[in-house]
Amino acid sequence: MTDRTQAFDRLADDYRRFRPGYPADITARLREHVLAGSGEPRLLLDAGSGTGISTRTLRHLFGPGPRVVGIEPGRAMRGTAADEADGLEYVDGRAEALPFPVGSASLVLAAQAVHWFDRPAFYAEAARVLEPGGTVAVLHNDRDWESSDFVDAYEGLLEKYGDDYRRDHRVFDTVGEMNAADGLAHAVAHSTAWTRELGLEALLGSALSSSRVADVVRALGGDAARAAITALAREHFPDGAVRIPYVTRLFLARRS
């Protein structure tokens, strides 16, 4: 188990309770792409499934028909996900070595996770396990620091105290990487902007579910880290209603 996996395991409960889901217009595009390529999907894989937020989303999108499996190396993350399994499966595994046979899956999804992967190895594995016409999808929520003074200041706090953190850590040519992978083609990108509204307690819970904020906690101590985030929130939202703008991005490619 890697140090990063252990770090996420320590955050599993807060991750499950406070992390946001994904906008319906984006997940609808994911569903349409899968159905257009595979008809009736048989097996849907969620690589780096964490506490199962995106795995449960797949069940909601596709109903009870297909087998839905979350693949997650963190024991605590898998255990937390299994508490709400509801017919879903969670297995130990890595995105770069998916424990499924050639041509078996209709979808391989990486939600809020691909920046932790060896991406060329992941795309090669996705191409291996996908059936012809199957979908590989990358999905993530990104805080929009360009449209919010609060988010800009929050990202600055993470950059100051985080372990080599950069706010643009998920800015890379995903479409180009997908198209360059053997067996994948026709990559496309979609995005949507939305705003999450939450109170101070939920803000702190969401922040403390992040391995990046865990770096800040190690640098400052837990009380000081909470105080710093609280001070930023009260400075920008004196009414206590915190508003965080996001851009959710979805990248899709087809198994050729």
Class of domain 3-143+168-196+246-255: alpha beta
pLDDT for 6 equals: 54
Per-residue model confidence as pLDDT tens digits over 136-155: 999 999 999 999 999 999 99
- Neighbouring CB atoms inside 10 A of 164's CB total 7
Domain boundaries, the chain: 3-143+168-196+246-255
Of 103, 137, 253, nearest to 185 by C-alpha is: 253
Mean predicted confidence (pLDDT) in 185-191 = 99
Q: What is the mean pLDDT of residues 68-83?
A: 93
Average pLDDT, the chain: 93
Distance, in Å, from the CA atom of 80 to the CA atom of 248, rounded to the nearest integer, reads 24
- pLDDT at residue 9 in the model: 57
Q: How many CA atoms lie within 13 A of 83 on its CB side?
A: 12
| pLDDT recorded at residue 1 | 45
Q: State residue 210's pLDDT score.
A: 84
pLDDT tens, residue by residue, 40-74: 999 999 999 999 999 999 999 999 999 999 999 99
**Exposed e or buried b for every residue in 84-94, given b needs 16+ CB within 10 A?**
ebeebebeebb
Q: What is the mean pLDDT of residues 98-123?
A: 97
Helix, coil or strand: residue 68: strand
Q: Do 58 and 108 contact (CB within 8 A), yes or no? A: no
> For 164-180, what is the mean pLDDT?
92
